[in-house]
């Protein structure tokens, strides 16, 4: 049964289109199930965009067995089951997939077709499939209806063997390579980046490679730059890369240039690893971040109007100070939480889906370099 929590739009225009299926994630260790949770990149990205007051439309498919409450209605396929992933955290390295776990797709929902997308225009499109649900023709349709398309490479290069184990194929062999010149940004983890020629791909579109605790690197046709990380008390790395992409696009929507938006991405990635499962963001922290972003915003023009200008990829004056202000906001929020934990009250948190059933829990914390 699908339960939808009513949501009041923060802005009158939906400027972002997110395309990717919700999933059921099951985490196993020592042969036992230790966690069940809502999964899919779309869940983490929508959580971040909601926190940044960015309005969006989400296109996602699930089966009739979908069991989590969500803020945006997915398309329910009566003849299909929801995509399910099993993550085995004690089986070691699995060829060219995740080094810290073996990931298996045990159920798969229908793919998202071009006809499933809304018949309207968007400023930004995000192709963030995790189970092979993004088709080449669907991505092509996104390019047609979105001014700028951002793609997580896992939506393009994931393949699955006869047992459902996740494998990675080279980008040139994925069936999507011909669309690269029509994309604006391609995000990949450091592990995933090994399956493409970054120096070649960056001539077609901007490539952002995330390096977990070491921040990220932005590669475009005329250069590259490293973006500093934020410290984090890591508990669970799941979804950090997705939250990065949500923060990155959210920053661009608010008018930041690429280096500053990448800082916002790193910031939300660092917040996510400090939580178990889908993070609950402190509303006061979110307000401080939005104020910092508005102060930082380049006045008089939006990113879409200057996206091909070299200045949008140049670190502007005050970039390091912006990093420091975000770090300061995080520290202040942590101190407030510690103070309130000693009092009867509790920290107010952003409205988000509440899981039915067991909360996600990992017996051992694992650092995932792929985030």
**312: Cα separation from own chain's centroid:** 22
CB 284 within 8 A of CB 333: yes
**50: Cα separation from own chain's centroid:** 13
Beta-carbon contacts of residue 127 (< 8 Å; ≥ 6 apart)? 19, 20, 134, 138, 139, 142, 149, 150, 151, 152, 155
Q: Tally Cβ neighbours within 10 Å of residue 327.
A: 16
Q: Where are the alpha helices (DSSP H) in the chain?
A: 41-51, 136-145, 154-157, 198-201, 240-253, 258-273, 283-296, 303-306, 319-341
| The length of the chain, given as a count of residues | 371
In whole angstroms, give the CA distance from residue 169 to residue 159. 7
Catalytic entry in 25, 152, 242, 282: 242
CB 131 within 8 A of CB 25: no
Spatial CA neighbour of 147 closest among 166, 123, 164: 123
Does residue 371 sit in helix, strand or coil?
coil
In whole angstroms, give the CA distance from residue 50 to residue 56. 8
Q: At what angle do helices 319-341 and 283-296 cross, to 10 degrees?
A: 170
56 strand-pairing partners: 16
In whole angstroms, give the CA distance from residue 123 to residue 55. 11
Does residue 225 sit in helix, strand or coil?
strand
In whole angstroms, give the CA distance from residue 207 to residue 255. 20
Question: Which tokens in the block code for residue 27?
Answer: 């985490």
Burial of 369 (0-12, 13-18, 19+ CB in 10 A): middle
242 is catalytic: yes
Question: Which tokens in the block code for residue 166?
Answer: 């996740």
CB 135 within 8 A of CB 25: no
Catalytic residues: 242
């Amino acid at each position: 049964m699908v339960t939808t929590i009513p949501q009041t739009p923060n802005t009158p225009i939906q400027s972002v289109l997110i395309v990717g299926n919700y999933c059921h994630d099951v985490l196993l260790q020592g042969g036992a199930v230790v966690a069940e949770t809502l999964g899919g990149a779309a869940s983490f990205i929508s959580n971040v965009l909601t926190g940044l007051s960015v309005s969006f439309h989400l296109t996602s498919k699930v089966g009739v067995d979908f069991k989590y409450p969500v803020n945006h209605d997915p398309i329910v396929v009566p003849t299909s089951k929801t995509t399910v992933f099993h993550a085995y955290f004690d089986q070691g390295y699995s060829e060219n997939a995740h080094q810290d776990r073996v990931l298996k797709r045990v159920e798969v929902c229908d793919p998202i077709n071009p006809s499933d997308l809304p018949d309207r225009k968007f400023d930004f499109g995000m192709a963030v499939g995790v189970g092979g649900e993004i088709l080449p023709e669907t991505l092509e349709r996104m390019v047609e209806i979105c001014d700028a398309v951002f793609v997580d490479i896992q939506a393009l290069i994931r393949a699955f063997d006869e047992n459902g184990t996740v494998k990675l194929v080279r980008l040139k062999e994925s069936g999507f390579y011909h669309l690269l010149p029509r994309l604006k940004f391609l995000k990949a983890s450091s592990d995933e980046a090994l399956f493409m020629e970054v120096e070649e791909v960056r001539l077609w579109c901007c490539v952002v490679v995330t390096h977990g605790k070491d921040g990220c690197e932005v590669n475009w046709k005329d250069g590259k730059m490293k973006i500093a990380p934020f410290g984090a008390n890591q508990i669970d790395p799941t979804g950090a890369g997705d939250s990065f992409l949500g923060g990155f696009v959210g920053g661009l929507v608010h008018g930041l240039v690429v280096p500053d938006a990448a800082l916002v991405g790193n910031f939300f990635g660092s917040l996510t690893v400090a939580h178990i499962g889908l993070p609950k963001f402190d509303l006061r922290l979110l307000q401080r971040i939005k104020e910092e972003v508005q102060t930082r915003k380049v006045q008089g023009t939006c990113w879409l109007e200057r996206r091909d200008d070299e200045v949008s990829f140049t670190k502007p004056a005050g970039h390091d100070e912006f990093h420091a202000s975000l770090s300061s906001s995080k520290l202040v929020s942590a101190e407030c939480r510690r103070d309130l934990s000693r009092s009867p009250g509790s920290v107010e948190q952003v409205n988000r889906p509440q899981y039915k059933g067991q909360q996600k829990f990992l017996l051992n914390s694992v650092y995932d370099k792929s985030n």
